[in-house]
A and B are shown apart, each in its own frame.
Chain A
Amino acid sequence: MTHVTTTPSSDGTPVEGAAPATLARVRGSRAARWTWGQLGLLLVLAVIVLFTVPNPSLAIGMLIYGLWAAGLNLLVGYGGLVSFGHALPFAWGGYAAGLVLLHVSTSVWLALLVAVASMALLSTLVGAVCLRRTEVYFSMLTLAFAQLGFFIALQWDSVTGGDDGLAGIPVPTLGLGTGIELNALRDPLTFFLFTGVVVLVTFAGLILFTESPMGRVLQAIRENEERARGCGYNTRLVQLVTFVLAGTVAGLAGGLFAMLNNFVGLQPYWLLSGVVLIMVILGGRSSLFGPVLGAVVYLVLESTLSRYYASWQLIVGAIFMVCVLAFPQGLWGLVTQTVPGLFRRRRSAG
């Protein structure tokens, strides 16, 4: 049992001494191959979901959870920072959008803008504290912040509704002179298409970030923070920007989720930190598309297993453990690693 500081690579090539960019590629990031193609994959997946998932609220939920998980993967997969408190930005976004819709205006744009902007601000503050120390400290601190948020949401019932939550959030309108309403019950298709467009645009932004110089530095920090700092990068700042981005995306997802359910409360929102993390690991943390796939697979598992089997979470937990033990690259990582290999073998055989 050797204990070297470098991580063994997936295909067994020695990685010590390689440049960070090469390391990322050896580790299975495959950034070069799947960059913008991921956007197409997401579109295909969304169309499949649209035509196969019978329950419209579940189908829209898949898009929202997928976006949330993809945002979290900026931290987990690209940054190596495992957040156990990603329910905090999701719930914050939900409450912010819900409060705007209830008390200020029924405009979708205003509600989402407030959710996103306030979450960016909050993320900066939370991130500044959580990133005082990285690695395990970061995980424990994010979890503690989520718990803190839960207590505040529970106790401050004049604003958050406490245990009852915010019920009866009005149906948001698209405005722009069209008078289109986003009613998930009466007109789920419009809601699905709107969510789909928002998710695709945000997803494209996420790809842009991971491909930007800063996104590259982020991956270099994951591989070796000291070396990245030695290259003159302000590693904390890069991590903070990522934290704010991931939080903002989660805030957006939370806002959409509030509109989908016309409700924000303690129950679904605050218990989801673990669920979204499972989605990321299940789908694969080496890409942005992986977590979206993970979210869809998780929700399919949930909606089918829970119908037949009360302890379905036992199965999900076991699948998750097997994933971490045997397939750390996740479902999508498994596909991208094995499928091209199959083609190559067939070509050389023929």
Chain B
Amino acid sequence: MDQLVSQLLLGLVSGALLVLLALGLNLIFGLLEFINFSHGALYMVGAYVASYLAAATGSIWLALLVVPIVMLLVGAGLERTIIRPMYGRDQVDALLLTFGLTYVLIEGIRMIAGSGGRRVRAPELLDFQVPLGIGRPIPAYLLFVVLVVALVVGGLWLFLQRTDVGLVVRAGIRDHVMIRALGVRFDRYRTLVFAIGVAVAGIAGVLTGPITGVYPEMGADILILAFVVVVVGGMGSFWGAVAAGLLIGVLVSLTTLYASVYAGIVPFVLMILVMTFRPRGLLGAT
């Protein structure tokens, strides 16, 4: 029982990080109409920036503020320079381009920081265990991760639902030809949405650092899981991504406890089931 509770919480944490990546992928797909294959690599870049900032300042607090801004700029820069020429072309070309970008980013980081990973210390302020009454006490940092993810998800939702910019973004996802006809400068919204998606991936990178450390290939595995989350939740569905992310996190965590051999396979089995019986995803619209 004790193990079950702590394992559930661990699953929730890894699921929450998946949610951040899947939401970015979803948002970018909705407005820019391509799957950003470099999302995992950008998450890794965010984590590396955070690891250097943490080494310089002694904790990740500053990184938590600075990395989203840096990644926002990186995202905007990438969209303006290399992704923009892809819009008139086949969807597949943008996918391939970001696939190439993944190679460049991973090898670039390897060249700068070496192939070995870097450790990141959790902030001292959160270096204690929280007793939950049931099960073993859990590190406060993990609870902090869940809290930050909840804040980011809530913030994104409010941004999309309650602001004028969010209104245009949602309208653009529905029908961007109409939005353009109404005189909206749509290019800017594309840049903004790509930058936001990348920044959210950067936040996930910062949060992951103290849990697993950072290493050049960290983005590859989580990207595949984020794809699975997007497919299972339903492409373009905000709460679908959240629900599927948490579900997969918890499922993997529980299988690790009871039948660890199958832990790696579980997300894919779930995905195959969903694609077979409900191809539009759990909460997908069409």
Contact = CB atoms under 8 A, between A and B. Distances in A.
Contacts of B93: 324, 328
Interface stretch (B129-137, B152-160, B200-208, B263-271): B263-271
Closest 6 CB pairs of A and B: A317-B103, A314-B107, A151-B264, A148-B268, A321-B100, A320-B100
B96 to A, nearest CB: 5
A205 B85 CA distance: 37
Interface size class of A (residues with CB under 8 A): 35 or more
A320 B93 CA distance: 11
Contacts of B95: 82, 136, 139
B275 interface: yes
B243 interface: no
A313 interface: yes
A129 B176 CA distance: 30
A102 interface: no
A155 interface: yes
Contacts of B89: 7-8, 328
Query: Which secondary structure dominates chain A's binding surface?
Result: helix
6 contacts: A7-B89, A135-B92, A137-B235, A144-B227, A151-B268, A310-B111
A318 B104 contact: yes
B183 interface: no
Given A3-B87, A135-B91, A151 B265 contact: yes
B23 interface: no
B99 A277 contact: yes
B265 A129 contact: no
Nearest to B104: A317
Interface of A: 1-4, 7-8, 76, 80, 82, 84, 129, 132-133, 135-137, 139-141, 143-145, 147-148, 151-152, 154-155, 274, 277-278, 281, 310-311, 313-314, 316-318, 320-321, 323-325, 328
Given A132-B279, A140-B227, 12 more contacts: A7-B90, A76-B92, A80-B90, A80-B92, A129-B276, A132-B275, A132-B276, A133-B279, A135-B91, A144-B227, A274-B99, A320-B103
Given A3-B177, A80-B90, A136-B29, A314 B108 contact: yes
A317 B34 contact: no
Interface in B190-243: 224, 227-228, 230-231, 235
Interface in B92-140: 92-93, 95-97, 99-104, 106-108, 110-111
Contacts of A141: 231, 271, 275
